[in-house]
Amino acid sequence: MPNGHPQRHWILTPPGILWSLAVFTGGIAWWLIALPVLTLSNVDKHATHFPYVLLHALTGTVMLVNGALNIFLGVTRRHARLHKPLGLAYLIGGSIAAISAIALALSNGHSKASAEFAVDPMRSNDLGWALATLGMAWLVAAGMGYRAALNRQFSSHQAWMIRSYVLVWSFVLCRLIGKVPSFPELGSGATITWLSWIVPLLICEVALQWQNGRRR
Per-residue pLDDT of 64-103, as tens digits, reads: 999 888 888 877 777 778 888 999 999 999 999 999 999 9
pLDDT at 1: 44
- Are the CB atoms for 106 and 119 separated by under 8 Å? yes
pLDDT at 192: 83
107, β-bridge pairs: 119
Helix runs in 77-125, H state only: 83-105
Report the alpha-carbon distance of residue 31 to residue 64 in Å, rounded: 12
Low-confidence ranges of the chain (pLDDT < 70): 1-7, 10, 109-115, 181-188, 216
Report the alpha-carbon distance of residue 26 to residue 16 in Å, rounded: 15
- Are the CB atoms for 84 and 111 separated by under 8 Å? no
pLDDT at 186: 52
- Report the b/e string of 73-90 with b at 16+ CB within 10 A: beeeeeeeeeeeebbebb
